[in-house]
Structure 1
Amino acid sequence: MIRREMIKLSKLLLPLIMAFAIVGCTSLSNKPIYNDQGYAVTGYDVVAYFTENKAIKGSTDFQAEYQGSQWLFASKEHLAQFKQSPERYAPQYGGYCAYAMSSGFVVSSDPQAFTVYQDKLYLNYSLSVRENWLENKAQFIQEADEYWQQKVTKN
């Protein structure tokens, strides 16, 4: 019984441990929104996650500034939707990995590893980390929300 629980735990933690070993953790002190390549969510259109249910690269033709970051969109319509309600479309935890955040770590994310759940966008470090996160997302969200509120928003 204990061995089975240990195997299950290692299956959940291994992708996260690998992520930390490969890229390490990031500091939030000057980056409340995850930026890569100069754009929030690595330049992917956050509205498309909700309207198309897929990751679509944005265009520099359609961009907006929000929370100190540049956001790209695939169309003028998506840009307008975002400008109307950016907090609705912005990813949880500033776009950092939701699974890592649940353990109190700040780790980059992959725009392809996304989930829209209860009308909120969550990103994960990788597709394999996302699969583990999905197994118990309600608990991980609760834990990540607590960490985000206690540690991150106080900076």
Structure 2
Amino acid sequence: MALAAAAVSLATLGSGEIRAAEIVNTGYFDNIAILGYDPVAYFTDGYATKGSPEFTKKWLGATWYFASAEHRDAFASEPIRYAPQYNGFCALGTAIEEASANIDPEAWRIIDGKLYLFSGGEGLEEDFDAAPATVTAKADAKWPGVAANESETRTEHN
């Protein structure tokens, strides 16, 4: 599994915080975050947009794709603002202490200015939309353990 080890030390950032030695979910291939989708587009365009290899930024050991130079530059200036919570792992899975590299970039929500990704759209309305604060509180509490397990798994496979 191609999970990039974080190489930067960052301060506490709120729910789904990203810290040193945590991993970014890059799926199974190519070390590309969000399967090549543009994290800024969720906020600016309101929909999932595939990024381009022409506009990339390396951050936390992963390559992030963007639909435009403007999106890349916005991310470069404020990556924490645009990066998905739980380092791109499924928010629902994180809430039940499971991390899967399988995410569906088309299954997402922005809650309180934060991007959450999911492994698929089925059940999203019933399982997340019905109580987003409850799910994110559970995921916030479980994330340190999930991240540690993923980092340990990554270390064992390298």
Tell me the TM-score normalised to structure 2 length.
0.75
Question: How far, CA to CA, are the matches of 1:43 and 1:27 in structure 2?
Answer: 14
CA deviations over 1:80-109 (Å, ceiling 9, x no partner) = 000001111000001111001000100221
- Cα shift at 1:33: 1.0
1:115 corresponds to 2:106: no
Tell me the TM-score normalised to structure 1 length.
0.77
**Matched residue count:** 130
1:67-146 to 2 correspondences below 5 Å: 67-107=60-100, 108-131=102-125, 132-146=127-141
Question: How far, CA to CA, are the matches of 1:90 and 1:123 in structure 2?
Answer: 10
- SS of 1:122's partner is strand
Higher helix share: 1
Instruction: Choose the corresponding residue for 1:152, options 138, 147, 151.
Output: 147
List runs of 5+ in structure 2 lacking aligned partners: 6-21, 152-158
Name which one, 1 or 2, has greater alpha-carbon Rg: 1
Q: Which amino acid in 2 is paired with 1:35?
A: T
Q: Which amino acid in 2 is paired with 1:126?
A: G
List runs of 5+ in structure 1 lacking aligned partners: 1-25
In structure 2, the CA distance between the partners of 1:151 and 1:87, relative to structure 1 (3 Å rule), is: same
Identity between Structure 1 and Structure 2 (%): 35
Output the aligned Cα RMSD.
Answer: 2.2
